[in-house]
Structure formats: structure tokens, C-alpha cells
Structure 1
Amino acid sequence: MDRRRFIGGTALAGALLPLVGVGAAQAASPRTGAGRLLAAGLRKGDTVGLVSPSAASSEELSLQLAQEAMEAFGLKVKTGAHYGARYGHLAGTDAERAGDLNAMFADREVKAIVCVRGGSGAARLLPLLDYAAIRANPKILLGYSDITALHCAIQARTGLVTFHGQVGSGSWNAFNADQFERLFFGRELMDYRNRVEAGDELVPRKNRTRTITGGKVRGELVGGNLTVLTALAGSSYLPDFAGKILFLEEVSEAPYRVDRMFSTLKLMGALDQIAGFVFGECTDCSPGDGYGSLTLDQIFADFIAPLKIPAYRGAMIGHIREQFIVPMGGRVELDADAGSFRLLDPVLAAP
């Protein structure tokens, strides 16, 4: 993917100073209550903002579909001034994209912000975001993949719970729409358990979870896309990992590159601090031709199993058609034997 060529080369170099950077981020992050800031839930008729903080959309239909999907939820739509712009592969210059995002957080009419798509480029915006305004105007922020950079930085600098889930132009199938309705309108304490159907198979094959290490643990969620998260190593835009439950997903990466990124997480000290681990899907991550490759099973055995913390893989998180909407910073109980996690506290304030 294009975003990997942009950010992938920075990950190993950034791993040299990450613990200093994380500490600086926490020192600069005023928090409320138990360290979390909550946005209000949604009501029908509320206004949502559509922004493009990363790559440009290849066709106008994607922008139209994002708007129609939000309207189908009974919401009004306001679009960023540059959400359909293009600057190279990006949806406008850094200043334009950051300006759209800052404007949406400052706009009192807007109750939630939905990213049109991921791709590449969100990390370029992190020094340009108005974290004081975000802290003063907490709102739902929804997106995944490259949007991981925004989730991590906002979590680190403000404590705001944001949401890793379907982008505006993605598939709003029945499963994803149900997640949106139950979480944002219903403020439900979600139980994230894979939907498994055998179909015409003797035993289910799709959406299976696999336990790496059994057990239960409670903690706040951090994570997102593996490539994007590790590319922030050494910066002040990573949240604290101590005692947290790390969830990850990936797409179109050969196992040797996944192995390299888990090495970065190990070297920066993140893996030794976490209390639990969930891996979603690694879509299109097959080994290439040649002399062979480490398997994902071996990578998890090398990096996760020795931690002896509750851990499982196969959650419905990532570049897949049906995916969970996961609250970054939400407090959950993880059950690695059951292959599930559930919210313990509300992740939205009363609307």
C-alpha cells in the first residue's frame, strides 16, 4: 500500500527513543476523571462532519456514498472544506487536511467526525492539530487503518476516547450498521464476540478466534493498525501502554515485515508493559515466493506467548467487510479462552 512506502521506513529508526517520547506525551496530557474524556452519544438529526485526513478518494462516488450512508442513519452531514481535494496522493495539503479536522472539532453544530477513508498521510497532521480545542470539544471520531495515527495522538494528548471502525466510504452492511446504531445511538456496553456461522461446512472456518494464552484481564484499549502504530515509535504521539490491552490489525504485509514490526514493539518496551493482547485480521499477509517465511503462528509464539498474558487472535477487527467498532481508551474485560472482550464502562457521555 502507498502509506507503507511513506511511513514504513521510519519505524525502526523511531524505535530508538520511544520511551522518552511516550513519557513526554503523558506529561503534556491533562486528563479528566480516570484519565478518559468522553464524547456525547448521537441522536437522530444530529450533524456529523465528513473529513479526509489521509489519502484522496479516487472517485467522487466514494464521497457521495459516505454522505448517503450517514444520512441513512438519520444524521445531517457537513463536509470539510477540502475533503474532496487532492495534493499528490493526499486529500489536500497538510494544512488543509488538518484545518478541516480542527474546524470540525471547533464547530459546535458537529457532534461526530467520520473519516471518509484511510490510505496514507494522517501522521503528517499530528503537529498541526489543535489538541486544546479537541480537549475542550470532545466528539466522536471514527475511522481505521491510517486513522490509527489520529486515534493514538488524540488519546495520548487529550485522553479522548475515539473509535476504530468503518470509514465513511466503506461497506455499511447490516453488521457494521448495527455496530454503529448500538454504540453511538444506543450507548450500549458492547460485547465484542465474533459472529461465527458454519454455512455448508461441517465445522466453522470463517471468523474463528484462536487462543494464544488463556485467561481474563481488564484494562483500557490501545492499538490500531500495526504499521501506522509502529511508525509513531519515538514520537510524543503514542499513548501509554502500561497495563493496557493492545489490539492490532494489518493488511497487505508479508510476514517478515510483520515480524519486524513486532520486533519494534518489543524493543520499544511496549509489549513488556501490556496486560492483554488481541489481534484482528492480517488480510492478504501470505508469504511471498523464495526460501520460505516465518508464519504468523510463529511470530505470535515468539513475541506474544512468552508474555504470559491473556491473548487471542482472529477478532473481527481490520480490513474486512464486517468489523467491530472498537473504542480506543475504552475499559474492557478480555476473555482469551472465549475469544471475546466486553465493555465495562460507558464510552460515551449522555447526549
Structure 2
Amino acid sequence: MKKRTFIKTLGLGMGFGSVAGIPAFAKDQPATKNLLPKRIQPGDRVGLISPSAATGDIMEFTFAREALEALGLQVQEGKYLTGRRGHLAGTDAERATDLNEMFGNEAIKAIVCIRGGSGAARILPLIDYQMIKNNPKPILGYSDITALHNAIHAQTGLVTFHGPNGSGSWNPFNADQFRTVFFGEQNRITYQNETEDTDDLVIKKNRIRTIYPGKVSGELVGGNLTVLTALAGSPYLPDFKDKILFLEDIGEEPYRIDRMMSTLMLMGVFKDINGFVFGQCTDCDPTGGYGNLTLDQILDDYLLHLKIPAYRGAMIGHVPKQFLLPFGAKMTMDSETGILETNGPIFQ
């Protein structure tokens, strides 16, 4: 899916007061310690919502439902799933209502976002975070859903899940990730890039590059770089102290990646984190100008001097095969082997 091209900042001046019965919750609500969701099982009912951009192809709703059903789940669509207001999937109040109602509905065991795009940040003041704390359940999505992962974790401590959207690719790799994370009973989940044998003497696809070697532990936070930096200065970012930060992006030229990395640097993020993982930067090639820093040069500039374990090339982001990661969970990482691993429970 394409990048957000409209909303780069939290909805300032949008009149986010009490709308359609949804209160504007206090922005200084303190974060709590990690809150684990309840595990789901085959046969459970999941809610399908669209908190960001509208879905233009009506068949995408069918594809998302059929994919989740093929995974063994029942699907309940949000009341405003197919809504539209401009580029958004309905009004801010409608999209927030679907999210709040899915968390409040005891019959719904997990929530899947159908797509990203743009607009999730607009509904952050309308989310009922106390409702979420009282009804912890998994929520899955990526790209613009980064806004929800960060806000929900910052405000409630809930561990959420960064991975395929409902209308995304459900190839065998992604389907196996889903079953392993949500249906499996493993005490430890390991994430390491898939490699493919070819007739070349050297494996080239899905290779990682170690920026700085080492092993480290910490809670995993991050997501889409553009969406993450657009939350700067808001109460919807978690504390980055001692965290492992993961990032990805799409459709951003290197100078824009550099600008956003400098924003994180000026926020003090890099000096606080324990480790760093960059996934994929899809369609991030330069288009011209007087010259460009490479992505490797940019990452080295911001990270090498910190001497923290860091690597790039993980299967995270806008790619067909992608990791399904527990956002906010305790993890370990090895930047030389490119391994991320859970280091504690991710469900109650």
C-alpha cells in the first residue's frame, strides 16, 4: 500500500472535543507497566476495522475476511469498516467508535486493521484507553497503524502486534507467523530472516548488515519511521529508555529518512535505546538532486558512535513476507546474526 500523503501531524485544530458521544480523553494519562493481552484460539471471533485510510477496491473487504477465516477465525466487521470521508475510512468519530467498540465487546477476542495509509493519528484523542486497559486483547496491523501501537502502549502498557494488515499478503510465511504467534504455545519465538538457495555462490536475498555488533535485551518499540516521528511532542509515544527500537518505511527519499532520523536524535531517542533494528525501506531510492547520502551512511551517522547493537535488513515493513512482532514485549537481539527473540510471555 502507498504511504500516507496527507496526514503528517496529529490532528491539530480539528475540533476533537466530544464528538458523537466519544469523549476526548485526558492527554496526560500516565502509562502503566506492560499489560499482556489474552491469547486467542482457532474459532475465536475477531473484529475487522479500518482506523486509517479508505479502501478503494471493494474486493479487499472480501479478501481480508476470507484470509482471516482461512486462518480459522470468525470475523465481525466494524460498523464503519466500509465508510469513506475523503481519503479516510469515515469520520474520525466513526473510526474511533469501531476501535472502542471492538475493545469493549467481550465476544471479540482480537482486532485486525484492514489497512494503513493515513489518518490513524487523528483518532488518538478519541480512543478510550481505560476501556482498553480493562479489556486487553491483541490488535494487529502495520504502516499507519504505528500510531495506534505507540499510543495504546504509551497510554495503557498493552502489548500489541506489528504485522500484516487484513487486506495484505497472506502467503505461507505470513500465515505461519500468525499461527506461531497467536495459536502457538512456544515459550520463545525467534525471528530471523528467511534465506533462499539459488545457483549463486553467495546468498544475496534477505541478507542483514551489522551496523554495530552485540547482544542486548529490552522492550521492542517503533514501527513506521514517518508515522513515529509525526507523533513527536505528543503523549502518544512510549518512553524509549532501554528499549530496542525497530523502524521501517516506504516511498521516502534518503534525505527525508535523514531528516526523520535527526528528529529522533534531537528527541534524545537514540541515546536512550539499548538496540536498533532497521527493516526494509521500500521504494526509497533517490530521484536526483545534487547527490545523496546512502541509507547505510545515514544509519551509520546516527548509530555507530553510540556503540549499541544495531543492524539493518530485517523482514519488517512494506514487503510481502514480514515478521509479526509483539510491540512492547521483552525481547533479545543479536545484531551479528540478525536474530530477534521474545524474552518473556506475550500473552496472559
Q: TM-score, normalised by structure 2?
A: 0.93
| 8 Å Cα contact 1:49-1:113 kept in structure 2 | yes
AA matched with 1:175: F
Structure 2 Cα separation of the partners of residues 187 and 140 of structure 1 = 16
Match of 2:139 among 128, 138, 141: 141
The Cα RMSD (Å) is 1.5
- After TM superposition, give the deviation of residue 54 of structure 1 in Å: 0.3
- After TM superposition, give the deviation of residue 9 of structure 1 in Å: 10
Matched position secondary structure for 1:201: coil
Residue number in structure 2 paired with 1:256: 255
Deviations 1:164-206 (A, max 9, x none): 0000000100000000001101143210100111323221111
Matched position secondary structure for 1:7: coil
Deviation above 2 Å: which 4+ runs of structure 1?
27-31
- The change in CA–CA distance for 1:8 and 1:204 in structure 2 (over 3 A counts) is farther
Structure 2 Cα separation of the partners of residues 130 and 147 of structure 1 = 17
AA matched with 2:169: S
Residue number in structure 2 paired with 1:343: 342
Matched position secondary structure for 2:287: coil
- The change in CA–CA distance for 1:259 and 1:9 in structure 2 (over 3 A counts) is farther
Residues 1:79 and 2:77 aligned together? yes
Greater fraction helix: 1
Deviations 1:259-278 (A, max 9, x none): 00000000011111001000
Matches of residues 31-50 of structure 1 in structure 2 within 5 Å? 31=32, 35-50=33-48
| 8 Å Cα contact 1:120-1:146 kept in structure 2 | yes
- After TM superposition, give the deviation of residue 304 of structure 1 in Å: 1.1
| Structure 1 unaligned regions, length at least 5 | 11-23
- The change in CA–CA distance for 1:277 and 1:2 in structure 2 (over 3 A counts) is closer
Residues 1:302 and 2:301 aligned together? yes
- The change in CA–CA distance for 1:153 and 1:77 in structure 2 (over 3 A counts) is same
Match of 1:92 among 80, 83, 90: 90
AA matched with 1:310: P
- After TM superposition, give the deviation of residue 75 of structure 1 in Å: 0.8
| 8 Å Cα contact 1:30-1:158 kept in structure 2 | yes
| 8 Å Cα contact 1:63-1:169 kept in structure 2 | yes
Residues 1:6 and 2:7 aligned together? yes
Matched position secondary structure for 2:265: helix
| 8 Å Cα contact 2:80-2:94 kept in structure 1 | yes
Structure of greater relative contact order (alpha carbons < 8 Å, 6+ residues apart): 1
Structure 2 Cα separation of the partners of residues 345 and 182 of structure 1 = 15
Matched position secondary structure for 1:97: helix
Residues 1:28 and 2:9 aligned together? no
| Structure 2 unaligned regions, length at least 5 | 12-25
| 8 Å Cα contact 1:194-1:315 kept in structure 2 | yes
Matches of residues 169-318 of structure 1 in structure 2 within 5 Å? 169-188=167-186, 189-318=188-317
| 8 Å Cα contact 1:47-1:76 kept in structure 2 | yes
Structure 1 Cα separation of the partners of residues 345 and 254 of structure 2 = 36
Matched position secondary structure for 1:334: strand
Deviations 1:198-221 (A, max 9, x none): 323221111101100000001000
Taking every aligned residue pair, what percent have the same amino acid on both sides?
59
Structure 1 Cα separation of the partners of residues 130 and 234 of structure 2 = 19
- After TM superposition, give the deviation of residue 41 of structure 1 in Å: 1.2
- After TM superposition, give the deviation of residue 45 of structure 1 in Å: 1.0
AA matched with 1:231: A
- After TM superposition, give the deviation of residue 244 of structure 1 in Å: 0.3
More displaced, 170-179 or 195-204?
195-204
Q: TM-score, normalised by structure 1?
A: 0.92
AA matched with 1:46: D
| 8 Å Cα contact 1:316-1:324 kept in structure 2 | yes
- After TM superposition, give the deviation of residue 30 of structure 1 in Å: 5.0
AA matched with 1:263: S
Residue number in structure 2 paired with 1:114: 112
Residue number in structure 2 paired with 1:19: none
Structure 2 Cα separation of the partners of residues 6 and 195 of structure 1 = 34
Structure 1 Cα separation of the partners of residues 44 and 30 of structure 2 = 29
- The change in CA–CA distance for 1:301 and 1:30 in structure 2 (over 3 A counts) is closer
Deviations 1:52-74 (A, max 9, x none): 00001111110111001111111
Q: How many equivalent pairs are there?
A: 332
Residue number in structure 2 paired with 1:125: 123
Structure 2 Cα separation of the partners of residues 153 and 177 of structure 1 = 27
AA matched with 1:152: N
| 8 Å Cα contact 1:161-1:347 kept in structure 2 | yes
| 8 Å Cα contact 1:225-1:248 kept in structure 2 | yes
Matched position secondary structure for 1:101: helix
Structure 2 Cα separation of the partners of residues 148 and 335 of structure 1 = 24
- After TM superposition, give the deviation of residue 301 of structure 1 in Å: 1.1
Residues 1:330 and 2:329 aligned together? yes
AA matched with 1:140: P
- The change in CA–CA distance for 1:51 and 1:255 in structure 2 (over 3 A counts) is same
